[in-house]
Amino acid sequence: MSNSTLDIARELGKTIQDSEEYIEYIKSQEEYYNDSNTMKLKSKLDEKTKLYNKLLVEGQKTDIKNISLEIKELNKKLLKEKKYTNYIKCKSKVEKTIKNVDNILEYYTGISNSKGCNGCKK
């Protein structure tokens, strides 16, 4: 790979950083992480999800239903938080742009950046 190819990649990265959608994403990320109520909800959700997975592995079916209901309720509350939903929306836009860039590169090079072995023949 020539230096000019890497230079173009660096320029593309800078262009993405300077884009309106990326700047909006960074702003929404800061607002999300600085909102104590939203972060508490997310932390509780993560904690309950870990507990749910642990109980599932251990086969403790009696507590799983209650934990599952708590997780659903926490999810509902989190989805009502504007800073969280805005962050997810902005993050999704940036991820879509990066995926589109990846698709273009794959089209022109024939080389896939995806992980795994989709379509591999054994």
pLDDT at position 121 is 46
74, two tokens: 């926490």
- Structure confidence at residue 59 (pLDDT): 83
Residue 116: its pLDDT value, please?
Answer: 55
> What is the structure's pLDDT at 93?
97
Q: Which residue has the tokens 């209901």?
A: 69
Give the integer Cα–Cα distance in Å for 39 and 95: 22
Tokens of 96: 């879509």
Positions in the chain short of pLDDT 50: 119, 121-122
Neighbours of 90 (CB within 10 A): 21
pLDDT at 2: 58
The contacts of residue 77 (CB under 8 Å, 6+ apart) are 41
* Predicted TM-score (pTM) of this structure: 0.78
Between CA 24 and CA 18 the distance in angstroms is 10
